[in-house]
């Protein structure tokens, strides 16, 4: 490679200014870059839409104490979803309105007691002393208006259909 002075002396000219710059990106590389960027953008959009869709289906569970520690801000929850409060139905607290489906009861745990009101049909496993989850809104400092009540069962629970199928007279087999 000759230096610029020897090039001028031999009558050669310097290359134009645009030739001294880096060569433009090759078409194949440019196409590959666009494909990678499109895939990354599509992946980002897919993840964003998935997280947005799942956020409305997240069930949040709070204990009695969590509800009561909301610093005097009833109804406020960390998220937009209706929170679920769990505990045990206090014995003697169940009140049913005979003309409507309105039910009132108290949930308790080691940290406190909260009143719950619910309009609807209660689950078959619901009873006093039973563990339940009330999903709804904290209306006052110690009151939940439940939109859904779920009864918990222990690990020994067997559905009636299975229990009936397992009895000897139903199966026709002798033990």
Return d(Cα 163, Cα 13) in angstroms, integer: 100
Label residue 138 left, alpha or beta by phi (over 0 means left) and psi (-120 to 50 means alpha): beta
108 is in an annotated binding site: no
Residue 136: CB atoms within 10 Å:
19
Residue 157 known to bind ligand: yes
Residue whose pair of structure tokens reads 């033990």 in the numeric block: 175
Identify the CA nearest to 120 among candidates 96, 86, 91: 96
Binding residues for heme: 153, 157
Binding residues: 153, 157
């Amino acid at each position: 490679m000759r230096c610029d002075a020897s090039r001028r002396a031999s009558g050669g000219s310097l290359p134009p200014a645009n030739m001294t710059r880096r060569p433009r990106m090759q078409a194949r590389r440019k196409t590959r870059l666009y494909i990678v960027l499109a895939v990354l953008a599509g992946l980002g959009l897919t993840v964003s839409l998935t997280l947005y869709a799942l956020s409305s289906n997240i069930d949040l569970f709070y204990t009695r104490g969590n509800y009561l520690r909301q610093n005097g801000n009833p109804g406020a929850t960390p998220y937009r979803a209706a929170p679920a409060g769990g505990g045990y139905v206090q014995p003697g607290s169940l009140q049913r309105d005979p003309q409507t489906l309105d039910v009132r009861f108290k949930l308790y745990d080691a940290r406190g007691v909260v009143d719950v009101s619910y309009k609807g049909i209660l689950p078959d496993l619901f009873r006093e002393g039973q563990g339940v989850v009330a999903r709804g809104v904290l209306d006052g400092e110690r009151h939940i208006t439940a939109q859904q009540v779920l009864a918990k069962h222990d690990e020994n629970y067997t559905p009636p259909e299975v229990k009936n199928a397992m009895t000897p007279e139903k199966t026709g087999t002798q033990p």
